[in-house]
Structures are given as structure tokens and as C-alpha cells.
């Protein structure tokens, strides 16, 4: 029996296991490792951070998906992959030996070395952090009630990429709840997004990006573009705009300027850049054919643009489907699949609040309510692929707007 160790139960890791369980039954043993005994939908973290969705709606127990006859689950923190010894080092546990390893440990926040960002801004890369953001906002509102200091009503989002825009929309939707806690009118709660670029959302046409910006602004969110963040001090963001240093005070500062791949990639001495490895056409490490890298730790080159595809849940899931088939092929025949991995985008859609959005599906630009609907359908598809109808029903996902 071959030993397959899958690291990470996010989109890439869990989908790999879900597929593999059926393909290698009786021929391989699978071990899945994650820090948590649940899967969370990272694409919805902004909803938990803003309090517009409970954490339970975007998480489900791994036990619901795993087949104990084929897969063993180990709850532990991965420290490093030792390729020479073909084993995975875990914190406070014995190492795990493997024949094939699938590294799918996702993303962490990238501060680009900006002073004070790590210490003074809140990150939003997992459920615990998202819940901590919501608690922090509500605590700030209670502090306002006691002190009447306006900084407690200020929320700053650093970075107006996809995540920052989605978060700003969700915070706008949560505004009435925050205001109630502070005992003020909703318009007193101020939401500002600070962004260095002047042309936002470059993945969309200028017309569609402008629509998205207007949509966010219509929710009374201030978008401060062309403002380069120089430092995050305690409860203060210092930025440069038009050659001048300026600053904004806020008790809540959330960091969404970008992500890099898991630090385990660097700790494992792989040839990486920002925690990502440019993988082979079979999604393996160029220096180690027994190590697959999937999801946000991998860079897959788009041959038309000669740049890596953006890291998304969509590409992570497609990589997982391919890797599971490729692994099964190797176990059955000793060879890789003849066809290389290719990515087919179903569309890129940003949600703004619960009922609006904008994006592109195929060559068609979509806006407003239809975009929000499409986004929910794309995300439901991944939940369906991994969890099946049971999870969709359990999460109330057929009732899309509650």
C-alpha cells in the first residue's frame, strides 16, 4: 500500500482527499493533516469578520467528508516537509512518512515589510482571525459608548484588492449592527479603504472596475486611492498621498493588501517566491516529482500572459481534481497522466454585501443582483463537490439570501 500524505484541508487539500478516496481504495492509505478538525470556506471570511454570517455557516466537520476505511485524519500543525527523508515534520508529534505528499497549506497575510502592519493591524486569513475582527469591532463600539472618542467608530481596510472590496461591502452591511452597539446613527460609523493604486481591480475592464468602485461608494464607504501606506502605528495608519504624509486614526485597522503562500514552503527549502513554487505541468515540485503543490502555495503559469494565474479557490479545486487523478494513475500504472493540467475559469465575481456584486463570466460582464447570484452559485459548486448535497442543505445554501 502506498502512503499519501495530504497537508491542509482547505479547498485544494480536502478536494484532493475527497476524489482520491474513491480512486485509490485498497491501493493506498491517505493521511490528511490540518490544524483544525473542520474545513472553512476562506472565500467567505469577510462575512464572518463583519458579522454578516455566523462562522458555522462557512465551516463543516472534516469527519463528514472523510472515509475512515481509506483516510486517517491527524490534527496537528505542519512544520516542514523533509524531502530527503520523505517525511513530514509536525509540531509536538512524530513525523509522518510518505511515498507521495500533497502540500496544500494555503495562504498567510503579506505585509510587504510595511512597518507596524504585523503588530497593529488585524489579519483575516482564517476563522479565528475573522471572529477576532468581529469581536474587536463590537468591543470598539462599546468603548465609544463609554468614551465618546470617535476613533472607535472608524474602521480602516488596508488594500482595495478583491478581498478589501468584498470586506468593505460586508462591513457596510454590518454597519447598522455596529451603530446599535455604539448607540449612534449608522452614518456615524465610518468605513475607509486605503489603497496605493489609482486603477483598482486590474483583472476587470476599466468600465467594470469603475462600476465596482461606485457600488462600494454608494454604501457610504470612502475609497482613498493613490494613498501609499507607509506605516501602521497603534490605532493609526500613516500614508503618502500626492507627496504628502497624512494619517487617519481608527481603533479597527484590517490588513488585506495581499497574501503569500504558507511559510512551510520556505521552511521546507523549496525554490519559492512569496511562499509559492512554480509547479510542473503535473503540479509537482520541479525538483521532486513525489511532492505535489496545490492551491495558494503553487504558481501555475498562464501561457497566454506568461504570468501565473491569480491564486483562487477555483483554481485550487481544479488543481485538486487533476492531482487526485494523476496520483491514482501513478499508483495504478506507474506513470503520470498523459495530459497536463489546464485551468478553465468559470468566472471572477466580487460580492459587495449580500445582494450585489460585479464580475466576468466567460466574456460577459455581470453586475448587481445577477452577479451576487452567480458568485453564490460558483461557491456553492465547490461546497457541493466536496461536501455533497447534505452540506449545502445543512448550511441553508438553497436559501441563498439569508
Ligand X SMILES: Cc1cc2nc3c(=O)[nH]c(=O)nc-3n(C[C@H](O)[C@H](O)[C@H](O)COP(=O)(O)OP(=O)(O)OC[C@H]3O[C@@H](n4cnc5c(N)ncnc54)[C@H](O)[C@@H]3O)c2cc1C
Residue nearer to ligand X on the CB measure, 171 or 182: 171
- Point out which residues bind ligand X (CB under 6 A): 8-13, 33-36, 42-43, 45-46, 77-78, 104-107, 163, 166, 262, 264, 295-296, 311-314, 316
**Under a CB-based contact definition with an 8 Å cutoff, are residues 281 and 246 in contact?**
no
Nearer to ligand X, 96 or 227 (CB): 96
Question: What is the spatial distance between Cα 44 and Cα 53, in angstroms, rounded to a whole number?
Answer: 9
3-state SS string over 93-120?
Answer: EEEEECCEEEECCCEEECCCCCECHHHH
- Kindly tell me which of 4 and 45 has the beta carbon lying closer to ligand X: 45
For the bound state, the minimum distance from the C-beta of residue 285 to ligand X, rounded and expressed in Å, comes to 15
* Tally: H helices and E strands in the chain: 9, 28
Instruction: Measure the CA–CA gap between 213 and 100, rounded to whole angstroms.
Output: 45
Question: Which one, 141 or 297, has the nearer CB to ligand X?
Answer: 297
- The string over 318-334, giving b where at least 16 C-beta atoms fall within 10 Å of a residue's C-beta and e elsewhere, is bbbbbbbbbbbbbbeee
Identify the active-site residue in 47, 89, 110, 166.
Answer: 166
User: Using alpha carbons only, what angle is made at residue 329 by residues 325 and 331, rounded to the nearest 5 degrees?
Assistant: 115
Q: Which residue is nearest to ligand X (CB)?
A: 10
Between residues 120 and 312, which has the closer beta carbon with respect to ligand X?
312
Q: Supply the minimum distance, in Å, between the C-beta of residue 10 and ligand X.
A: 2
327 — phi, psi (to 5°)? Answer: -60, -45
Q: Which contacts (CB < 8 Å, 24+ apart) does range 207-211 have?
A: 207/365, 208/358, 208/359, 208/360, 208/365, 208/367, 211/358, 211/367
Q: How far is the CB of 281 from ligand X (least distance, A)?
A: 19
Residue 166 appears among annotated catalytic residues = yes
Q: Count Cβ atoms within 10 A of the Cβ of residue 202 and give its class: 0-12 exposed, 13-18 middle, 19 or more buried.
A: exposed
Which residues belong to the active site? 166
Amino acid at each position: 500500500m502506498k502512503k499519501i500524505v495530504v497537508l491542509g484541508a482547505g479547498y485544494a487539500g480536502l478536494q484532493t482527499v475527497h476524489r482520491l478516496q474513491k480512486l485509490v481504495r485498497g491501493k493506498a492509505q491517505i493521511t490528511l493533516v490540518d490544524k483544525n478538525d473542520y474545513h472553512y470556506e476562506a472565500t467567505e471570511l469577510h462575512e464572518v469578520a463583519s458579522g454578516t454570517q455566523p462562522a458555522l455557516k462557512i465551516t463543516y466537520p472534516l469527519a463528514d467528508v472523510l472515509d475512515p476505511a481509506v483516510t486517517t485524519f491527524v490534527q496537528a500543525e505542519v512544520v516542514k516537509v523533509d524531502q530527503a527523508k520523505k517525511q513530514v515534520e509536525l509540531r509536538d508529534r512524530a513525523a509522518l512518512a510518505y511515498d507521495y505528499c500533497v502540500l496544500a497549506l494555503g495562504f498567510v497575510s503579506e505585509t510587504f515589510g510595511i512597518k507596524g502592519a504585523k503588530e497593529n493591524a488585524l489579519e483575516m486569513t482564517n476563522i479565528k482571525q475573522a471572529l477576532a475582527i468581529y469581536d474587536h469591532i463590537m468591543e470598539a463600539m462599546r468603548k465609544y459608548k463609554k468614551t465618546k472618542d470617535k476613533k472607535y467608530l472608524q474602521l480602516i481596510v488596508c488594500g482595495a484588492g478583491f478581498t478589501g472590496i468584498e470586506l468593505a461591502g460586508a462591513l457596510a452591511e454590518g454597519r447598522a449592527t455596529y451603530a446599535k452597539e455604539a448607540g449612534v446613527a449608522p452614518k456615524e460609523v465610518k468605513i475607509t479603504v486605503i489603497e496605493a493604486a489609482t486603477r483598482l481591480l486590474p483583472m476587470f475592464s476599466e468600465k467594470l472596475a469603475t462600476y465596482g468602485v461606485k457600488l462600494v461608494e454608494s454604501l457610504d464607504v470612502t475609497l482613498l486611492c493613490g494613498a501609499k501606506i507607509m506605516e501602521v502605528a497603534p490605532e493609526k495608519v500613516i500614508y503618502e498621498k500626492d507627496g504628502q504624509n497624512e494619517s487617519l486614526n481608527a481603533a479597527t485597522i484590517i490588513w488585506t493588501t495581499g497574501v503569500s503562500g504558507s511559510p512551510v514552503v520556505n521552511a521546507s527549502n523549496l525554490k519559492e517566491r512569496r511562499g509559492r513554487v512554480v509547479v510542473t505541468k503535473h503540479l509537482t515540485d520541479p525538483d521532486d516529482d513525489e511532492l505535489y503543490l496545490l492551491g495558494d502555495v503553487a504558481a501555475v503559469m498562464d501561457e497566454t500572459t506568461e504570468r501565473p494565474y491569480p491564486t483562487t479557490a477555483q483554481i485550487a479545486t481544479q488543481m485538486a481534481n487533476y492531482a487526485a487523478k494523476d496520483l491514482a494513475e501513478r499508483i495504478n500504472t506507474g506513470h503520470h497522466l498523459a495530459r497536463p493540467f489546464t485551468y478553465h475559469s468559470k468566472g471572477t465575481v466580487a460580492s459587495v454585501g449580500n445582494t450585489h456584486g460585479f464580475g466576468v463570466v466567460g466574456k460577459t460582464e455581470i453586475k448587481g443582483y445577477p452577479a451576487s447570484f452567480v458568485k453564490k452559485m460558483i461557491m456553492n459548486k465547490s461546497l457541493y463537490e466536496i461536501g455533497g448535497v447534505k452540506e449545502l442543505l445543512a448550511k441553508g445554501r438553497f436559501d441563498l439570501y439569508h
